Structure formats: structure tokens, C-alpha cells
Amino acid sequence: MGGTFDPIHTGHLRMAEEMAEALNLSQVRFIPAGQPPHRHLPRTSALHRLEMVRRAVAGNPRFAVDAREVEQPAPSYTVDTLTALRAEFGPDQPLWLLLGADAFAGLPGWHEWRQLFALANIVVATRPDAGATRPDALGAELKQELAHRQVPAGSATGPAGALVLQNMTALDISATRIRATLARQGSARYLLPDAVLDYIHHQQLYLSP
């Protein structure tokens, strides 16, 4: 599961937990982006974002942190990270890319996005009423991929190439809104783990909008 995690919050953690349970995953790796090429620069340094992810996943034995993208000086593409993971795990290990519905809707803008299906399966965390990211509102290219690749969660899949749409508990939490709340000295408590919020306050992050 990739993301800027600026900061990581309960929406991310719950998404990972529910997808792991639905797909019976042995591990979820959180991979904070270094300099994501497809969006504006994160405002918080990669090391702070990495540390917040570390604190958020501590205590969940199924969760792990993978620092490879933040340790790279150049922007990293998901296709490159998955290529490296595929080489490490070998051709037979099922790998799943975890995406929120909004990220999936933007997939055709990603570098070499079709190649992702050769490297991993993809699970999209959807919500029953997700407006522009509802499956029927997706662009033609993604609809076509869905028509070819969609399988129900829990069905037998190979190492790569399958697409699963999995409903999750809708949590209308975004890092953007948390940053805005913190900048106006508001309370972000219960939107993200206490350990992350303590770190934010201690490091004096997100003080200005």
C-alpha cells in the first residue's frame, strides 16, 4: 500500500486492515512515497512521514513499513517498486497493490499503468456510495480492465493480473483535512493514532496551512 501518508490516518489503517482480512494477506507493507511524480510535493519531509507510519503500524503484527521509496533520491514510480518486489519474492508469490477508490480512478495517469497488472493483483477499497469513483463512473479504459480482470474477493487468483473491488467501512478522513485542522489549532484526535498525533505535536508539524 503506497501513499504520501502526510500524515497517515485511520482511513489508511482501516483500509489496510479490512483488505488484509478480506484477501487473507499475510502482510501489508506501507510504502511511503518519496517524491510522488503524479501529484504536488508533500509538505512534510520524507523522514517525518516515514516515522509517523512506523508509529502507526507498531503493534499490528501483520503491518510492516517499507522505506525503499523514501530512501531513493529520485522520484519513484509504483511500477518500479513493484518490479523490485516481484524480483525479491519471485514469480509465484501473489502480490496485491492496495488502492483507495480515488487512487484507482486516477490509475490511467500513472507511469506505465498497464504494466502494473503484469506485476501484481489490485484490490480497490470502495464504498457503497462513492460518487465520481463509483465503478460505473470510471473511465472507459478502467471499465475495460475491470471487464477482463475483476474477480470476487476470496476467489483463487494467481500472482498478478486480477482486480478485486472490495467494499470497506466508509471513513471520510483525509490527510488534507487533518493538515487544515492542525493548522488552525483544531483537534485531530481519533482521526489518526495517538502515537502519530503525539509525534506531530512534539515535532511541531502542520502548524501553518
**Binding region for ligand ATP (CB under 6 A):** 3-6, 11-12, 15, 99-100, 102-103, 125, 171, 173-176
If the CB atoms of residues 99 and 160 are measured against ligand ATP, the closer one turns out to be: 99
112-119, Cβ contacts within 8 angstroms, sequence gap of 24 or more: 112/77, 112/79, 113/79, 115/79, 116/78, 116/79, 116/82, 117/145, 117/149, 117/160, 117/161, 117/163, 118/160, 118/161, 119/79, 119/82, 119/83, 119/85, 119/86, 119/95, 119/160
Set of cell numbers at residue 192 = 489518526
Whichever of 24 and 176 has its CB closer to ligand ATP, that residue is 176
With a CB cutoff of 8 Å and minimum separation 6, the contacts of 177 are none
Nearer to ligand ATP, 42 or 159 (CB): 42
Q: How far is the CB of 173 from ligand ATP (least distance, A)?
A: 4
CB 11, min distance to ligand ATP, A = 2
Minimum gap (Å) between residue 156 Cβ and ligand ATP: 25
Min dist. Cβ of residue 14 to ligand ATP (A): 7
Closer of 12 and 29 to ligand ATP (Cβ): 12
Q: How far is the CB of 2 from ligand ATP (least distance, A)?
A: 7
Report the residue number, 6 or 91, with the smaller CB distance to ligand ATP: 6
